[in-house]
Structure formats: C-alpha cells, structure tokens
Copies of this chain bind each other. A is one copy, B any other.
Amino acid sequence: MLSIVGTGNVAWSLAKAFHSKGVEIDYILARDTSAGKELADYIGTVFLPLEEADKVTSKVVLLCISDDALSNVSGEYEWPDETCIAHTSGPTSIKTLSIHDKCGVFYPLQSMNKNENPNFQKVPILLEASSPACLILLSDLAKIISDDVRTMDSKARLALHVAAVWANNFVNHLNAEAIELAEKHKVPFDLLKPLIQKTAEIALHGNSARSQTGPAIRGDESTMNKHLDFLDSRQSEIYRLLSSSIQKSNETEL
C-alpha cells in the first residue's frame, strides 16, 4: 500500500504512526543507506535504494524529504507509473511533482521530532491530488492516523504554512529565550508556566489580538528601558522590533 522516502523527522514520525496503526509499509527508500536501514529495521520492513525505485509495488509513495531534494528525487529515479507520488511539504506546490501523472500532497500540520511518538489523531492532514483516484488513496491513508483530514490547494497551504511558522517556530524560539532568561538570572522557570498556559489558551480561543497586555501596548517607556538593560544586543533588537510591532498593531485597531 505505502512506501516512504526519507529518514528525517517527518519520515520517522509518519512511519511510526502508520506502523502503530497496523499499516504495512512496503519499503523505506533513502539516499543514505545506513539511515534508511535504521528506519526500515525499526518498523520491521525492507530498505530499498532509490536506484531501485522502479521496483516499488506500493500504491502510494510519500516523499518525506527536504523541499530542495523533492524535484530531484521524484525526477531522477524511475517510479512505477501506477504509483501516486506525494510530498509532505507545507510550502511546496503540487506542481513540483507534475512530472508524474499521479501525484499529490500529504501535509500533516505539526512540528515533528523523530524521537517522539506523535499522536496524529488531532493533527490536521491537508491533501491535494492530481486525480480523484489519487486523492482517495491519500485520504484513505490519512484517515487511518488522523481524525482531521481536509483538502487544500497549494496556495492556501502556503499561507497556512506561513501562519504556522509564526505560531510554532517563532513562538517556540521566544519561549526558548524566556526559559533561558529565567535560568540565566537564576529565577525558577516553573514560575512562567501558568503564563505560558494562559497565553496558549487565549490563542486557542482566537483572542490574542484583543488580549495583548504589557509595557509595549501601555506605552510604558520606563519599564521597557529597565528591560532593555537586562538584554544582550541580539535580544534588544528583537525586544525593540516586537514592542514597536505591538504598538503599531494597536494603532491600526484604534
């Protein structure tokens, strides 16, 4: 039914998720033989070199590889015509795979780590396909691991991916800085936990814009100056830019 190309966080997470649901994965394919065999062994299947892509018997191949590698891996090797080749990249258009008659996108909207056992049940999986038959194949697979399967075109998916970078990559970086600041100044990090929890709850209710608090939105310059004294030059630059952005957003709303 399914083969997976890649050995990174997405390949490991999807392979483990399908394996745990009893889906047999025919092959793990990868450029790196050793890494490919490691994943194949982990889920009890066979490693196949990319040079032997024509031997794939699966109805679907998921390309869990970097955006830059996508067109090479899909174009340089000989894939069976009857296989639906899908990538798993949020920001990449389905057109990248248009060399294949049967192609698609299988994008799980979540931050993944190969060492975790992710629970995909509530993770949205966004699908796109070159044909209804291919879409049904991808949809059947997605529904095995997720309760939230939708179709979305490449343009909307790119917009969503940008928003996800803000809500995940950037927020995560700021949380990391907050944790580091607390540790550097020997303040127990766990004091921040109720604040982190509440900030997330406000976002989950879609209320972040109207719930903005703090010295920037109050225009409290003396507090902002006290804060800047605590920060190094990289942090100060972020502090100034985000404070200014908070103030500009507020002006727009008034």
Residues in chain A within 8 A of chain B (CB atoms)? 9, 66-68, 91-92, 109-113, 122-124, 126, 150, 152, 156, 158-182, 184-187, 189, 191-200, 202-204, 206, 208-209, 211-218, 220, 222-223, 226-227, 230-231, 234, 237-239, 241-242, 245-246, 248-249
A212-B176 contact given A109-B194, A200-B196, A204-B197, CB 8 Å threshold: yes
Shortest distance between the CB of A83 and any CB in chain B (Å): 26
Closest to A164 in B: B195
Q: How many copies does the complex hold?
A: 2
Task: Give the CA-CA distance A159 to B231 in the complex, in Å.
Answer: 10
Is chain A's binding surface mostly helix, strand, loop or mixed? helix
Closest to A161 in B: B227
Besides A111-B198, A126-B191, A177-B249, 17 other A-B contacts (C-beta < 8 A): A66-B218, A66-B220, A91-B226, A111-B211, A111-B214, A124-B194, A159-B230, A162-B181, A165-B214, A169-B216, A172-B202, A172-B211, A173-B212, A173-B242, A173-B245, A174-B174, A196-B204
